Structure 1
Amino acid sequence: MRRGTFRDETVDYAAVGATQAADLMQYPPERSRPAQERWRIGSGEDRFRTASDALLAWRAQRDGGLTVSDVRPAAGPMYSGVSFDGEGHPIAPSKLEADQRFDADGMPWVASGTTIRLHGRVKGLKADGELRVIFAIEEPRRVGFALGTVDDCVVSGEESFMVDWYENDEVWFTVRAFDAPRAFLYRMLPALITRRRKALFQRYLRAISPLYTTPA
């Protein structure tokens, strides 16, 4: 079944949560370029916990050479986010624990509805923008979240980050994304989107697993 189109007034694209769709690579949102990479980053509970904590503390972005600033947790009642099952139907995502957590520098960890500012460059290309956490998941064997563009980004879209601890004890890190060009340069040279995305994926991997294995 093809997924439906979902709208959310907090972001600048329509297919909210589509990084969770099983058919993302075959049927990406209109005018966007999909991307996905998976890496085995080790095995065992300790590796899973370490990678999960790093992910929720924004280490993929911060240790990946980007600056995370102006972290604003959702105001009012907890924003539960958006998620989908394998058939593309919306489901209620699991919630992170109620108490907000912080890293050693006092920065809030990832939580649904949080808005952040990113600053940096990737292969000479701008990576600035305002983004919002669309959903956040923390389960016994799966931890992750998705970021959606809100404003001032050269592309419009979403990226998700997931760490899974499988029954065979392997731990895998998966990043998925779809990007549609907004800036004039990207509309004229869409191949730059692929170049930028590939470089970002490698940065995320090195941040979460410095001794990473070959992509699956």
Structure 2
Amino acid sequence: MKLADLARLRLTYQPRGLTLDGPMPTGFHHIEVERRLGAGATAYHQAAEALLAYAPQRGLGLRPRGTAPRAAVGVDLLSRLVVLPVPCRIVWVVEDEHRTGFGYGTLEGHVESGEEGFLVERRGDDVYAVVRAYARPASWLARLGGPLTWRLQLLAAKGYLRALQRAVREDG
């Protein structure tokens, strides 16, 4: 699978966009994790820019390649999980003074069907990263993994948070 191939692929799930504000849909496995990244405007802007440039995915070792260098609705991303292609399309983006983030959905050829959302939020002076996801198996490989698949997804979500933490240097 090549990045150029993704434009012809369809998203594999409904409903869409619920990792932004929910509620999470029934019939899917849900994940929601968060981590405090720091405080202040500098921490927020560092985390927001890192997020929109796919730092969480890079930090996890997924080697994302996108049809744009920065997250925007409609951008296709192709990552690799060892040898497995991970094709996704960005379905929502938010960028303001209190929340920045994006969500992408699975395309045909992904082992799962669902959506993963990434947010950086200002809560007062504190800066938090949030990862929300809903997914279900779309291949025999994901079904075979069963509960192990969900455990690996949770570990990946926590890894995304650690990658964003590394991207932030707290205000002195």
Q: Give the TM-score normalised by the residue count of structure 1.
A: 0.68
Quote the offset at 1:21 in angstroms: 4.1
Q: Would you say the 8 A contact 1:179–1:193 is kept in 2?
A: no
1:1-216 paired onto structure 2 within 5 Å: 10-24=10-24, 28-30=25-27, 32-69=28-65, 71-73=66-68, 108-121=69-82, 128-167=85-124, 169-210=125-166
Q: Would you say the 8 A contact 1:129–1:151 is kept in 2?
A: no
Q: Which digits, 9 at most, give the CA deviation of each residue in 1:50-72, with x for residues without a partner?
A: 00000001111012211112x22
Query: How far, CA to CA, are the matches of 1:182 and 1:18 in structure 2?
Result: 19
Query: How far, CA to CA, are the matches of 1:113 and 1:209 in structure 2?
Result: 27
Quote the offset at 1:194 in angstroms: 1.2
Give the SS at the match of 1:180.
Answer: strand
Q: Which digits, 9 at most, give the CA deviation of each residue in 1:85-122, with x for residues without a partner?
A: xxxxxxxxxxxxxxxxxxxxxxx11111101111024x
Task: Return 5+ residue gaps in structure 1 as ranges.
Answer: 1-8, 74-107
Q: Which has the larger radius of gyration?
A: 1
Q: Would you say the 8 A contact 1:66–1:118 is kept in 2?
A: yes
Q: CA RMSD in A?
A: 2.0
Q: Would you say the 8 A contact 2:48–2:120 is kept in 1?
A: yes
- Tell me the amino acid that sits aligned with residue 115 of structure 1: D
Identical columns (%)? 29
Q: Which digits, 9 at most, give the CA deviation of each residue in 1:147-166, with x for residues without a partner?
A: 10012111110000000112
Task: Return 5+ residue gaps in structure 2 as ranges.
Answer: 1-8
Q: Give the TM-score normalised by the residue count of structure 2.
A: 0.85
Query: How far, CA to CA, are the matches of 2:88 and 2:141 in structure 1?
Result: 21
Give the SS at the match of 1:55.
Answer: helix
Greater shift after overlay, 13-22 or 173-182? 13-22
Which stretches of structure 1, 4 residues or longer, exceed 6 Å deviation after superposition?
none
- Tell me the amino acid that sits aligned with residue 52 of structure 2: L
Query: How far, CA to CA, are the matches of 2:115 and 2:84 in structure 1?
Result: 13
Q: Which digits, 9 at most, give the CA deviation of each residue in 1:178-207, with x for residues without a partner?
A: 111012132244202212211211220121
Greater shift after overlay, 172-181 or 195-204? 195-204
Query: How far, CA to CA, are the matches of 2:167 and 2:62 in structure 1?
Result: 20
Give the SS at the match of 2:51.
Answer: helix
Quote the offset at 1:130 in angstroms: 1.1
